[in-house]
């Protein structure tokens, strides 16, 4: 049986190297989604391309950000502090809502349409306080037919073990921080989500190792899963070497054979969720 899988690249707009890799992969059908950091300056240079990216079957979504380059004064926080404040209920809801609205407005202003999906930089979209404000804002802003799907960070065994025990622990922690809470709220309020999230590892793999991880995730994938990636070609951030390794594996001709062996069809998530 054919397995439908969406391959989503995070961090579009972070820098020119990330943009170049995502664009190259999308144009040859290796990506079906990308999440945009609207606070990063490099995304604006690619707005014209993003507006037409649907021609390549690419869904463009909002990579909601509170830890890298948010838009409103005082919104940026280290991830650990943000998590602690969310769970302690100490984040000011009005400020959270204002940041979400600002990022949605920037996305709409740049592309002339709502995001196809919303996920979170470092998965912040699923945290308490943020997830409630996000769902409320999306409901108010968009009619049901235009509402984005939301990334679910749920793990599935044995897929979570592909990258080893440390990566399994990392993926499980990510899911524990909000996957169930967001999924329950999304069901109540009518927002669609992917099934499991694949692709978590320590950003420490060289090209051959990442290619092996990719093959493992493909072998473990199930229908409706989302495989996240972080490719880059000449990126300049702390993940630059990992991004280059991911780009090499995702661009490799061998990927077509791996997909055929695992009976996977890469497909935009919205088309998977619509059936």
Q: CATH number, domain at 241?
A: 3.20.20.370
Question: Which residues partner with 118 through β-bridges?
Answer: 62, 150
Query: Angle CA(15)–CA(20)–CA(24) in degrees, nearest 5?
Result: 155
Q: What is the model's pLDDT at position 275?
A: 55
Separation CA 86–CA 126 (nearest Å)? 10
Query: What's residue 1's pLDDT?
Result: 85
Rounded to 5 degrees, φ, ψ at 102 are: -65, -40
DSSP bridge partners of 115: none
The pTM for the full model equals 0.97
Each residue's pLDDT, cut to its tens digit, for the chain (275 residues) gives 899 999 999 999 999 999 999 999 999 999 999 999 999 989 999 999 999 999 999 999 999 999 999 999 999 999 999 999 999 999 999 999 999 999 999 999 999 999 999 999 999 999 999 999 999 999 999 999 999 999 999 999 889 999 999 999 999 999 999 999 999 999 999 999 999 999 999 999 899 999 999 999 999 999 999 999 999 999 899 999 999 999 999 999 999 999 999 999 999 999 999 85
Contacts for 32 with CB less than 8 Å, ≥ 6 apart: 6, 7, 8, 57, 58, 59, 266, 267, 268, 269
Please report the pLDDT score of residue 205 as a whole number. 86
In the numeric block, the tokens 């669609």 are attached to 192
Distance CA 238, CA 203 (A): 10
* pLDDT in the model for residue 41: 87
* Overall size of the chain counted in residues: 275
Residue 260 to residues 39, 107, 250, 254: CA-CA distances in angstroms?
38, 36, 15, 10
Token representation of residue 10: 């995070």
Q: Which of 249, 202, 245, 200 is nearest to 226 (CA)?
A: 200
Domain that includes residue 182, residue range = 3-273
Rg, Å, the chain Cα set: 17
Please count the structural domains in the chain.
1
């Amino acid at each position: 049986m054919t397995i439908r899988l969406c391959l989503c690249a995070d961090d579009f707009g972070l820098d020119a190297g990330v943009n170049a890799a995502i664009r190259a992969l999308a144009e040859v059908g290796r990506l079906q989604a990308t999440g945009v950091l609207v606070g990063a300056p490099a995304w604006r240079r690619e707005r014209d391309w993003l507006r037409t990216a649907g021609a390549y079957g690419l869904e463009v979504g909002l990579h909601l950000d509170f830890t890298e380059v948010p838009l409103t004064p005082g919104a940026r926080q280290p991830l650990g502090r943000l998590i602690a404040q969310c769970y302690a209920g100490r984040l000011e809801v009005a400020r959270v809502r204002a940041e979400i609205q600002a990022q949605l407005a920037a996305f709409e202003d740049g592309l002339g349409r709502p995001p196809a999906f919303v996920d979170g930089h470092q998965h912040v979209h699923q945290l308490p306080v943020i997830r409630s404000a996000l769902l409320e804002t999306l409901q108010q802003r968009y009619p049901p037919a235009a509402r984005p799907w939301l990334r679910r960070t749920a793990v599935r065994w044995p897929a979570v073990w592909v990258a080893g025990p440390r990566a399994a622990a990392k993926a499980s922690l990510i899911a524990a921080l909000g996957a169930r809470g967001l999924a329950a709220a999304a069901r109540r309020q009518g927002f669609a989500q992917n099934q499991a999230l694949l692709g978590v590892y320590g950003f420490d793999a060289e090209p051959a190792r990442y290619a092996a991880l990719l093959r493992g995730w493909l072998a473990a994938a199930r229908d409706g899963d989302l495989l996240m990636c972080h490719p880059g070609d000449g990126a300049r951030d702390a993940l630059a070497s990992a991004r280059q390794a991911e780009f090499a594996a995702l661009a490799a001709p061998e990927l077509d054979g791996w997909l055929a062996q695992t009976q996977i069809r890469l497909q935009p998530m919205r088309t998977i969720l619509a059936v």
